[in-house]
Structure 1
Amino acid sequence: MVNQVPFNSNDQLCDSLVVSRQVVNGQVERQRTPTEKPVNKEVSKQYLPGEPRLQLHDRTIGEALKSELLTEDLDKLSPNLWLVAKQDSAHISSLTDQVVRGRKIIVTEKPGLHLVWHYDRIFVKPIPKYLLSHAFWEFYLISDASPIELASRNRLFRAASGFLRSYNHLIRHRSDFALAMKDDHRLLPKNTKYGKFINFIKSFEAIEDSAVSPRYRFGELRLSRLNFWSKVFLFRFTYEKAEKQYGAYFNRFFAPILFLFGVFSVLLSAMQVILAVQTLVETGESWVTFVSVSQRFSVFTIVFVAVVILFLLFLLVIMSSREVIFALRDLYRRSRSRV
Structure 2
Amino acid sequence: MNEPPFAQEDELYPKLYISQSPLSIHRRPVATTSKPETAIDGLPGQPRIGLHDIELASYLQAELITADLNKLAPHLWLVAKQDSAHISSLTHQIVRGRQIIITENPGLHLVWIYDRVYIKPIPKYLLSHAFWGFYLCGVDSPIRPDARQQLVQAALGFLRSYFYLVQHKSDFSIATNDDHRLIPKSISYSEFVSFIKAFDGKRIGDDIVSPRYAFGELRLSRLNLCSKVFLRRISYHKIHGQYGEHLAQFYGPILFIFGIFSVLLSAMQVALAVQAMGTSSRSWLTFAQVSRWFSVFTIICSAILALVPVVSLLVLLTRETVFALTKLYEKRTALKAAGEKRHGKSVV
TM-score range, shorter chain: over 0.9
Tell me the SS of whatever aligns to 1:89.
Answer: coil
Q: How does 1:97-108 map to 2 (within 5 A)?
A: 97-108=92-103
Match of residue 229 from structure 1: 226
1:156 corresponds to:
151
Aligned runs of 1:97-176 on 2, under 5 Å? 97-176=92-171
1:73 paired with 2:73, answer no
Contact 1:27 1:145 survives alignment (8 Å): no
Which consecutive residues of structure 1, in runs of 5 or more, have no partner in the other structure? none
CA contact (8 A) 2:267 2:296 kept: yes
Q: Is the 8 A contact 1:281 1:287 kept in 2?
A: no
Letter in 2 for 1:22: S
CA deviations 1:225-246 (Å, max 9, x no partner) are: 1111111111111111111111
> Matched residues in 2 for 1:195 and 1:264: separation?
63
2:175 to 180, 192, 208: 180
1:241 is matched with 238
Q: Distance in 2 between matches of 1:36 and 1:253?
A: 58
Q: CA deviation at 1:318?
A: 1.2
Structure 1 CA distance for aligned equivalents of residues 32 and 134 of structure 2? 23
- For 1:182, the aligned partner's letter is N
Aligned to 1:8: 7
2:14 counterpart of 1:19: no
Deviation at 1:299, TM superposition (A): 1.2
User: How much does 1:38 deviate?
Assistant: 9.1
Q: CA deviation at 1:310?
A: 2.5
Matches within 5 A, 1:168-317: 168-205=163-200, 206-280=203-277, 282-317=279-314
Q: CA deviation at 1:193?
A: 1.1
Say whether 1:337 aligns with 2:337.
Answer: no
One-letter identity of the residue aligned with 1:211 = I
Q: Which structure 2 residues correspond to residues 20-59 of structure 1 after superposition, within 5 A?
A: 20-23=19-22, 26-32=23-29, 39=35, 43-59=38-54
- The 5 A counterparts of 1:74-93 are 74-93=69-88
Determine the C-alpha separation between the residues in 2 that align with 1:54 and 1:142: 20
Deviations 1:176-218 (A, max 9, x none): 1111122222211122211111111111002111111111111
Which residue of the partner structure matches residue 323 of structure 1?
Answer: 320
Cα drift, residue 50 of structure 1: 1.1
Q: Counterparts of 2:35 and 2:138 in 1: how far apart (Å)?
A: 29
Question: By how many angstroms is 1:311 displaced?
Answer: 2.8
Q: Which runs of 4+ in 1 moved over 6 A?
A: 35-38
In structure 2, distance between residues paired with 1:324 and 1:169: 26
Q: Are the aligned partners of 2:61 and 2:151 in contact in 1 as well (CA < 8 Å)?
A: yes
TM superposition shift of 1:286: 2.4
Distance in 2, Cα, partners of 1:331 & 1:38: 60
What is the identity, as a one-letter code, of the residue corresponding to 2:221?
S
Cα distance in 2 for partners of 1:80, 1:287 equals: 62
Letter in 1 for 2:231: L
1:326 aligned partner, one-letter code: F
Residue 282 of structure 1 and its aligned partner are, at CA, apart by 3.3
Amino acid at match of 1:230: S
**TM-score, normalised via structure 2 length:** 0.92
Q: Which moved more, 1:70-79 or 1:180-189?
A: 180-189
Change (3 A) 1:36 1:172: farther
The code of the aligned residue for 2:298 comes to T
Distance 1:36 1:267 in 2: 79
Q: Which amino acid aligns with 1:3?
A: N
Which amino acid counterpart does residue 60 of structure 2 have in structure 1?
A: L
What letter matches 1:141 in structure 2? L
Give me the whole-angstrom Cα distance separating, in 2, the residues matched to 1:305 and 1:100: 39
- Aligned AA (2:117): I
Give distance in 2, aligned partners of 1:327 and 1:195: 37
Alignment-mate amino acid for residue 208 of structure 1: G
Deviations 1:260-287 (A, max 9, x none): 0110011111111112234555342221
**Partners of 2:35 and 2:29 in 1: CA distance:** 9
- SS in structure 1 opposite 2:283? helix
Check 1:17–1:36 CA distance in 2 against 1; reply closer, same or farther (3 A cut): farther
Deviation at 1:309, TM superposition (A): 2.3
- Please tell me whether the aligned partners of residues 90 and 171 of structure 2 are also in contact (alpha carbons under 8 angstroms): yes
Displacement of 1:116 in angstroms is 0.7
TM-score for the superposition, normalised by structure 1: 0.94
Instruction: Give, as a single letter, the amino acid of the residue that structure 2 aligns with 1:116.
Output: V
